Structure 1
Amino acid sequence: MTTHEQARSRKERRRDTLARLTDDKDSWIATASPDGQPCLVPLSFAWDGATLVMCTRRSNPTARNVASRGEVVVTLGHTRDVVHIEGTAEVVEGSALAKESADTFATKLRWDPRNRQTWVYLRITPRVVKAWREENELKDRLIMSDGRWLD
């Protein structure tokens, strides 16, 4: 018989999610082209306290999809500890990203693409965040709705 940890409260999930956003470096980002062609790629990220900041080549499908549709899904973790983020995204030129956000990205990932012409930032604002580990947390996995953390 499999036993699972007790389900976390929404407050505990929010705390754990914010820790993951601060500490984790890698994620999966899903976008779609204007005609609906899906694209799923791994990208590193930094959390600036309100948005996820990623970087990719401007010619990659992910950047093109964000520019045309502005919608993304980002996931952190593995299948037994998931953070699922649905958000709006925008492409930001290196020199146009707020200095604090660009500094956070450069410090966390030890790479500074601000002056690289072929690279752009993706700034993602979460709208919906869900977090769960096992089946016992599926029912109450929603921890952010309409861009607001739930109590």
Structure 2
Amino acid sequence: MTVQREPARTPEQRKQDVLAKLETEEDLWAATASADGEPTLVPLSFVWDRETLLMATRRTNPTARNVTPRGRMVVTLGHSRDVVHIEGSAEMVEGSALEPSSGEAFTVKQRGWNPREHKAYVYLRVTPVVVKAWREVNELADRDLMRDGVWLV
């Protein structure tokens, strides 16, 4: 039995597909690690805002606590046959310090949920440093689309 695979996309097409996913997807998987290396992986809602990922979580959750000592986060979107993998620098932002347009963009995308109204929540803003995207093995060789915060395509 022969498995039919889609032809590999060009890096330019993959970048367009990544940007489309960032605009339309609602949730991602966020991975952090504590100072002693304990991993945490959770789903979070997000908005693509000002070339960064903006998400919200309770300030007491491990994801928020882990951002402070390391300042790093890895997030993925898509399923295992259409992966967007982003490594980035992360910062915690209080709702009161968030630009109003960013808070509103998040609230609109999340159908009215506004973390700024809940003191227990903070925003996490992730600036991409590495972006990779692939569907099948035929795209693995050219999966790097961004390195050191600079798009390669």
**Shorter-chain TM-score above 0.5:** yes
| Structure 2 partner of 1:99 | 100
| Structure 1 partner of 2:143 | 141
| Structure 2 partner of 1:119 | 121
1:18 maps onto 2:19 in alignment: yes
Distance 2:40 2:89 in 1: 16
Distance 2:14 2:99 in 1: 29
How do 1:38-117 residues align onto structure 2 when only pairs under 5 Å count? Answer: 38-110=39-111, 111-117=113-119
TM-score by length of 2: 0.97
Distance 2:80 2:144 in 1: 16
User: Which amino acid in the other structure matches residue 22 of structure 2?
Assistant: L
Distance 1:128 1:122 in 2: 17
Where structure 1 has 5 or more consecutive residues not aligned to the other structure, the ranges are: none
User: Which amino acid in the other structure matches residue 139 of structure 2?
Assistant: E
Once the two structures are TM-superposed, the CA of residue 137 in structure 1 deviates from its matched residue by: 0.3
| Structure 2 partner of 1:27 | 28
Any idea what SS the aligned residue of 1:4 has?
coil
Once the two structures are TM-superposed, the CA of residue 67 in structure 1 deviates from its matched residue by: 1.3
Once the two structures are TM-superposed, the CA of residue 70 in structure 1 deviates from its matched residue by: 0.7
Please list the CA deviations of residues 7-33 of structure 1 after superposition, one character each: whole Å capped at 9, or x if unmatched: 001110000000000000011000000
Once the two structures are TM-superposed, the CA of residue 102 in structure 1 deviates from its matched residue by: 1.1
Instruction: Give the RMSD, CA atoms, in angstroms.
Output: 0.7
Distance 2:60 2:69 in 1: 13
Percent sequence identity over matched residues?
A: 61
TM-score by length of 1: 0.98
Any idea what SS the aligned residue of 2:119 has?
coil
User: Which amino acid in the other structure matches residue 18 of structure 2?
Assistant: T
Any idea what SS the aligned residue of 1:114 has?
helix
| Structure 2 partner of 1:132 | 134
Once the two structures are TM-superposed, the CA of residue 150 in structure 1 deviates from its matched residue by: 1.1
Does the 8 A contact of 1:95 with 1:115 survive in 2? no
Runs ≥4 in structure 1, deviation > 6 angstroms?
A: none
Distance 1:125 1:103 in 2: 19
User: Which amino acid in the other structure matches residue 35 of structure 2?
Assistant: P
Please list the CA deviations of residues 10-69 of structure 1 after superposition, one character each: whole Å capped at 9, or x if unmatched: 110000000000000011000000001000011011001410000000000000000121
